[in-house]
Structure 1
């Protein structure tokens, strides 16, 4: 449980790298006729994994970076942050711990050993070689007047352990997502 909380805390700061593993864009959906040019104000809200420690320092830094990136990107599109927004931007993060495996092979894992009475045996099997975190970041934009989802896009990828790569990945992911917003 403690390990899950630590990964949730690192979710934003350790999100997608544009270098080694990259990330995959998820399908972007847009309401017919939606354009950010028709709106003037926005606000942000966040959805975090259950049990996330939102008071941890790295989490706060990642949230601050995400807020800065989203605010700057939307400001370039002519929107202003407001307490009574026309658009609500929701950033949600989901994490999943995965296990990396490989298949054993008698050429690399040794030949079958003689056990007497013709009991030669060897089976190929999957063995665990490591664990990693896979994350999904989804941006939803909701028209607050009609209470309707008007735009959704996301990215999915493996979370790097290097903080610098993680911040670069988060920056690239958010910029890519909001670059699709018109």
Structure 2
């Protein structure tokens, strides 16, 4: 009985951990007939178009993580004439977290002579940054987009945590490529 429960507990743990992930994958699309095994080499498109607000070290880390994921899938980094071009996009926006007022936590205000008023309204709670990374894989020979995906998450304040979040986001992006598209070892 224990032999059957232990693998089930491990699977349940993995499901819970992945469900609590702060990274959300959005809009994954693949061209019809896309197969990553068709490509041997990859290279990066010009990263100068990425916003100047993003530190260069984060862009370099993002490129390393994407390169690691593609290398795990059997591709080799090429400096020129790569079969597959990788176009990266990064957007970071400052957002405001709000909450709705509630009669229980925000009682009515007294405005004189038996006039109490209360209205629901949005109250600012804090500010945070939300980042979105997009990865586009382009077939160099056809000059056509063959796969794209986006991931979004809250950007942590600590630099070390930002790199962890980037690594998690890139890994989650590339996990959306079907298993038949990856090399088997």
Q: TM-score, normalised by structure 1?
A: 0.76
Match of residue 61 from structure 2: 65
Structure-2 separation of matches of 1:141 and 1:171: 18
The CA RMSD measured in Å over matched residues stands at: 2.3
Deviation of the 1:172 alpha carbon: 1.2
Alignment of 1:139-154 (within 5 A): 139-154=135-150
What stretches of structure 1 of length at least 5 have no aligned partner? 1-17
Q: Which residue, out of 48, 51, 58, partners 2:50?
A: 48
Cα distance in 1 for partners of 2:43, 2:93 equals 28
**Mapped partners of 1:108, 1:84: distance in 2:** 63
How many pairs does the alignment contain? 158
Instruction: Report if aligned partners of 1:133, 1:158 keep a CA contact under 8 Å in 2.
Output: yes
Q: Distance in 1 between matches of 2:65 and 2:122?
A: 42
- Matched residue, 2:71: 75
4+ aligned runs moved over 4 Å, structure 1:
18-21
| Kept after mapping to 1: 8 A contact 2:152/2:169 | no
**Structure 1 residues 81 and 136: CA distance shift in structure 2, 3 A:** same
Alignment of 1:1-182 (within 5 A): 22-45=22-45, 46=47, 47-49=49-51, 52-53=52-53, 59-82=55-78, 83-116=80-113, 118-181=114-177, 182=181
Deviates more, 1:63-72 or 1:138-147: 63-72
